[in-house]
Structure 1
Amino acid sequence: MRNYIFFVLFFCTTTVLAQYKTLHDFSARTIEGDTLHFSSLAGKKVLVVNTASECMLTPQYKKLQELYEEYGGDDFEIVAFPCNDFGKQEPGDNKTIKEFCAQYEVSFTLMEKISIKENPPPVYRWLTNSEENGTLDAKVWWNFQKFMVDEEGNVVDFLGPATSPLSNKLKDWLKE
């Protein structure tokens, strides 16, 4: 009986302590070099997407901007991380990337260029690993993979690279 009580107490204690991080626990550098504390996005749904300027999916910048213009503001934010890991399709530096994005009139948040394969930033390790996010495992396999994060900072789902930012699944989630 004594061993049973110890086991129950140990299990309950470790279960309570096994809290997962949220997006709000992270920060990263913007394309301008400033630090963005994701805790500033608390209360907003967030779409995190890895981008590239020389990809056949690059026109998604336009669709991301349309989505942002329709839903962005107090309740929704897009955070884009340029990345050169997939097909070497983002070869430019931060300044070049920012200038490129101007043609799409991007007004959502652009982050500094990252590597997801070689040295993923902590926020991407969290997004892709259920042991860290408590929800899902999702390997990033190409440019424009989209992660959906709720108002509390929990990753809830992801959309593959070819899925349009204007998909019904994404719009329905934003309307919830």
Structure 2
Amino acid sequence: MKKLMICLMAMMGTLALSAQKVYDFKVTDDAGKEVSLSQYKGKVLLIVNTATRCGFTPQYKELEELYQKYQAEGLEILDFPCNQFGQQAPGTIQEIKQFCTANFGIQFPQFDKIEVNGADEHPLYTYLKSQKPFGGFDLNDNLGKLLDDMLRKRDANYDKNADIKWNFTKFLVSRDGRVVKRYEPTDKMPDIDIDVQLELNPTLATRKR
């Protein structure tokens, strides 16, 4: 009976998560103000956990280029610095913002630092991971192979859970709040660009069929 109750509770929790949308969450912006993500209804979102001292930090430049290319069509990039991976996002959010502005001219919204895994993970990330779990690195990519080797040495079964694996993991969210895709940091920006185009202009997908 106890096992049945635990199973039912787990199922209810899963159903509750699946019934939610990104708009149900509140976050803290870079000025310490609480913000409801409902203000982004109708936008295509790319949600990313970032770091300023990571080998992938130059992706800030690619993200800003993507933002400038599609903001007018309805794209918003939501940046959540996270210090959980090699402590590569040190400093305050103000220091991080200053670094990003000076080095990459970032214009997209940056939010306060959060945790994306573990007991103190932000509920937004609990939800995102429930919708799109880890799908694996491209092992034909040198960086993908490097990350896989590094993480597997720490945990042979690291790929069996939905945790965020490293900095610059991204989630693509449709205009109606559905999490449609997850990208690992080794995924290429041109591929993300194509997916963003298709979410912004669904008729393009129809034409390609």
TM range, normalised to the smaller chain?
A: 0.7 to 0.9
- 2:150 matches 1:149: no
1:26–1:74 distance in 2 versus 1, CA, 3 Å: farther
How far apart are 1:166 and its partner, in Å? Answer: 3.7
Query: Does the 8 Å contact 1:64/1:166 carry over to 2?
Result: no
Quote the Cα distance in structure 2 between the aligned partners of 1:26 and 1:166. Answer: 29
- Note the residue ranges of structure 2 that are not aligned, 5 or more in a row: 1-11, 135-162, 203-209
* Greater alpha carbon shift after TM alignment, 109-118 vs 52-61: 109-118
Aligned to 1:11: none
Instruction: Tell me the distance in 1 between the aligned counterparts of 2:84 and 2:54.
Output: 12
Q: How many residues end up aligned between the 2 structures?
A: 156
- CA apart distance, 1:41: 0.5
Q: CA shift at 1:159, angstroms?
A: 0.8
Percent identity over the alignment?
35
- Structure 1 unaligned segments of length 5 or more: list them: 1-13, 131-135
The C-alpha deviation readout for 1:130-168, integer Å capped at 9, x for no partner, is 4xxxxx323310000010001111101111111233435
Distance in 2 (alpha carbons) for counterparts of 1:170 and 1:120: 27
RMSD: 1.9
Question: What TM-score results when the alignment is normalised by the length of structure 1?
Answer: 0.81
Could you list the per-position Cα deviations for residues 53-77 of structure 1 after superposition, in whole angstroms to 9, with x for gaps in the alignment? Answer: 0000000000000000000145110
Contact 1:50 1:143 in 2 (8 A): yes
The structure that is helix-richer by fraction is 2
Secondary structure at the aligned position of 1:129 is classed as helix
In the alignment, is the contact (CA less than 8 A) between 2:44 and 2:196 conserved in 1?
Answer: no
Find the residue that maps to 1:61 and give its secondary structure. helix
Residue 106 of structure 1 corresponds to: 106
Which SS does the other structure have where 2:19 is aligned? coil
Give the stretch that moved more between structures: 157-166 or 74-83. Answer: 157-166
Report runs of 4+ in structure 1 exceeding 2 Å deviation. 136-139, 164-176
- The aligned residue for residue 170 of structure 1 is 195
Which structure is richer in relative contact order (CA contacts within 8 A, separation 6 or more)?
A: 1
Q: 1:74 to 1:37 in 2, by over 3 A?
A: farther
Instruction: Name the counterpart of 1:126.
Output: 127
SS of the equivalent of 1:48 reads strand
